[in-house]
Amino acid sequence: MLAVCSKNTDAIAREPFRDHPEMLLREQHLAVFQANWDDKASNIKSIAEALNLGLESIVFVDDNPAERERVRQELPLVSVPEIGNDPAYYPLSGGQRRRFRASHLEQRRSRPGGKL
């Protein structure tokens, strides 16, 4: 499930999802689109509530190190990976993929009668 948490005006934030010819993700691929000038930690809480998810289920990816650190401080349950300077080139591989797979398996095991 994907959501957008953008600190921008809504129309400008949606533009690449609507108009950029190389953008593979489109608005219809997103469960929630949150674009405004509020702080991202507050918007992440709103997104989690809208999706009926706990904060421990959220992964926040952002190109701004200050935003990443603020979310880490304010929402310690949210996973915030380091991605480098351009999130467009962030590969979900290696340790991150194993971490997400392991988390998913742990959640399934913890359910009553949970099977792998």
Average pLDDT over all residues of the chain: 82
User: In the prediction, which pLDDT does 7 show?
Assistant: 96
Q: Which residues of the chain have pLDDT under 70?
A: 84-116
DSSP 78: S
Would you state the pLDDT for residue 87? 62
Burial class of 40 by CB neighbour count within 10 A (0 to 12, 13 to 18, 19+): buried
What pLDDT does residue 111 have? 47
- CA distance between the termini of the chain: 21
Inter-residue contact 67 to 39 (CB < 8 Å)? no
pLDDT for 85: 66
Q: What is the pLDDT of residue 59?
A: 93
Q: What is the pLDDT of residue 63?
A: 86
Question: Exposed, middle or buried, 5 (CB in 10 Å: 0-12/13-18/19+)?
Answer: buried
Question: What distances in angstroms separate CA 68 from CA 5, 28, 62, 91, one per listed residue?
Answer: 12, 26, 6, 18
